[in-house]
Chains A and B, each alone.
Chain A
Amino acid sequence: MLQYLNILLDDSAVSFCHYEAEKKQRLMSIDMLKAGIRFAMMENLMIQFVFPDSPLPKEYYSVIDSIDHFNIKRNSEDSDVCVVENWDFSKANANVPIVVRTTKEVFFQKHQLLNGIIAQAKRINIIITNVNTFNNDDFKEYKGILDALREQVERVYIDRKSPQLNLLTDRMMLKEMNNCGAGDTNITLAPNGKFYVCPAFYYEDKGDSIGDLEQGLEIRNKQLYKLECAPICRHCDAFQCKRCIWLNRKATLEVNTPSHEQCVLAHLERNASRDLLHNIRKLGSLLSEQEDINELDYLDPFDKRDEWQ
């Protein structure tokens, strides 16, 4: 069921996920913005406005404030989600979730910078932008880094704090899949007045829309965005997996089928989360109500398809 509408206020609106936004500015018209807000009100959707770096014309802010909403911005004090690029946390707002967009190469180099902010930040979301390029060596390195970060998170727990780092702590808290939800729980309105499954679909092919403000939504084969129609994912318990619909389509040509790389990364995180939960419980009664995370003998559920098909 749809719950959220992302409104890209400009073509250069900050990316908060795997995709790259455009550099060139193209502002959404104010009439379109008003129509988008009206659509969200009629459909009972919570709006997430995605801002460009450059300031908007003054009249836009009053229109934006006419509705309850979230703001997604880069390095901003007044954001509800703060996007950090280039690992520069100097302007990050620690009171809101911080999204760190990074390539795997830079993540491998700079992950230790997280140690300094895990305890302070309300929440950190790491988004690795080139997931589908991971190879076996990268998986090994990623596992090692997750183990190192896990030890850091454990230390914060010893101080009786409850840090949130999506790669490690989300799985401990979840009892069911909680994925990106593009096309299912959220859609995107782009500056051209058309709806898209998510911003990535807009930037990749502007002809790939799922309706517009005049004609309304038309999500064809919308069942394919739901977990029930995802044969691999519906049997999986890496509940924290982003299950990125756009990466799915890029790698496998189907929105409901994840790549091998996405599955393995999600399972390495899941397994690190399992170790984390185990160790935190040793500290006392912490997280005793959470369900156990079972040990698995695989990293890609596809390899076990004979058992669940």
Chain B
Amino acid sequence: MESDNLIRYKNITFIVTKDCQLACKYCYLVGKNSKERMSFEIAKQAIDYLLDEKRNFREAGVVWDFIGGEPFLEIDLIRQICNYIKFELYRRNHKWFNNYRFNFSTNGLNYHESKIQKFIEENLSHLSIGITIDGTKRKHDLNRIHRNGKGSYDDVVKNIPLWQKQFPNEGTKVTISSDDIPYIKESVLHLYDLGIHAVHINCVFEDVWKEGDDKLFEKQLVELADEIIDNDLYKHFECSFYSEEIGKPLTDNGNWCGAGMMIAVDAAGNFYPCTRFAAYSLRSKRPIIIGNVKDGIDKNKLRPFLTLNRTAQSPQKCIDCEVASGCAWCQGENYDAADTNTIYQRSTAICKMHKARVRANNYYWNKLYRKLELEGTRDEFEKNRYKVKPFIC
């Protein structure tokens, strides 16, 4: 689903600020700061360049992503940028006119504020907003904390009803690190209780896993599977941990990650193959800058990204793996963790967690299908299957 989206839609990300109210423990942004805020002039130059270059962007539509830090800290700038985009798409009679979306991932803290609500009202039909809430209060507050150490759950959860009313089909993104594992089951069920139908959940790609984490993870996922199936929650809710597509040998040789097919631009006007290659996202490597708003994109710098495939970057154990499908990777994390300055060395830190997920996933589908067959409701399930809106990375 992800790759399909990337072919049809160009993802263009504005890193409008590197500031955030939170100091989440698992955040990959190691260089957050309050100084690097995008100016409208830089955003305008980026938009002009990208719209001028329509010959090089074959995608039928575009997703304009706004990311931070916390993007809504810059709501005035965002409104100005979006108005300019809409005006220019119209003025140029651009193919993306009326085939665009504005996409936000927010911590939700200031979601209720009038400026943000006004922006939502103005752009609702072209807007996707995901609020990140990690689950129960104790799970959420374990990682998602204010700079003073106070948990942010209470500040976010109060905005969930308004968000769900405005975006009933939007899901939330949950990130799992080592310390979160004991709370997975309760957290997913809690999010369902809050009315969130789709929970996009994934383990961090960084090498954080401790001995025994995979067993604990598997246990949580099996217990969650029991809860979802025994209480018929599968009829109305989705959890991305369970998918019939994962855990099979791979025959295709495509790249998992869309880095390079998307473009990110930061406050300095530099272009990146994805935000994860900007300096503030990298622990140990230099940023990969593929151009800037003045000189445009250096196509030579994109060539490695656009020709990257699975076998060229994977160790033999991944190529031979019999449960390889669904085993994800982040190109930025691969680069950051690599022994040399390359995007061609796949990090396998997530291996044992993927295998645990596959075992629990097999359990889920075996249990669910047996139940449906015994009830004689499998056809009905297939017909009414809950369809989640695809999550765009």
Hey, which bits of chain A sit against chain B, CB under 8 A? 132, 220-221, 224, 229-232, 251-261, 302, 305, 309
Contacts and interface: CB of A to CB of B under 8 A. Distances in A.
A230 B313 CA distance: 10
Contacts of B312: 229-231, 256
Interface string B333-362: 000001111111100000000000000000
Given A221-B344, A231-B312, A309 B300 contact: no
Contacts, number: 58
Report, nearest first, the 5 A-B pairs whose CB atoms are least far apart.
A254-B304, A231-B307, A220-B339, A257-B304, A251-B300
B308 interface: yes
A231 B309 contact: yes
B303 interface: yes
Contacts of A259: 300, 303
A231 B338 contact: no
Give the most central of A231, A251, A253, A255: most B CB within 10 Å: A253
Contacts of A261: 300
A260 B309 contact: no
B301 A252 contact: yes
Nearest to A257: B304
A302 B339 contact: no
Secondary structure at the A interface, as helix, strand, loop or mixed, is: loop
B43 to A, nearest CB: 26
Nearest to B339: A220
A254 B340 CA distance: 10
Contact of B344 (A232, A251, A254): A254
A159 B23 CA distance: 78
A221 B307 contact: no
A49 to B, nearest CB: 28
Contacts of B306: 302, 305
B299 interface: yes
A231 B308 contact: yes
12 contacts: A221-B339, A221-B344, A224-B344, A231-B307, A231-B309, A232-B307, A253-B341, A254-B344, A258-B303, A259-B300, A261-B300, A305-B307
Contact of A260 (B300, B304, B345): B300
A103 to B, nearest CB: 19
Secondary structure at the B interface, as helix, strand, loop or mixed, is: loop
B214 to A, nearest CB: 27
A31 to B, nearest CB: 30
Nearest to B302: A252
B336 to A, nearest CB: 14
A37 B28 CA distance: 47
A253 B307 contact: no
Given A221-B345, A229-B312, A309-B253, A302 B303 contact: yes
Contacts of A231: 307-309, 312
A257 B254 contact: no
Given A221-B345, A260-B303, 7 more contacts: A221-B339, A231-B312, A232-B303, A252-B303, A253-B341, A255-B342, A309-B309
Nearest to B252: A309
B254 A253 contact: no
A309 B254 contact: yes
A242 B344 CA distance: 21
B188 interface: no
A251 B253 CA distance: 25
B288 interface: yes
A147 B309 CA distance: 37
Nearest to B298: A251
A302 B307 CA distance: 8
A252 B338 contact: no
Nearest to B316: A223
Contacts of B340: 220-221, 224
Contacts of B339: 220-221
Contact of A221 (B300, B303, B304, B338): B338
A221 to B, nearest CB: 5
B5 to A, nearest CB: 18
Contacts of A252: 300-301, 303-304
A260 B371 CA distance: 57
B282 to A, nearest CB: 14
A232 B304 CA distance: 9
A229 B307 CA distance: 11
Given A221-B338, A253-B288, A309-B254, A229 B304 contact: no
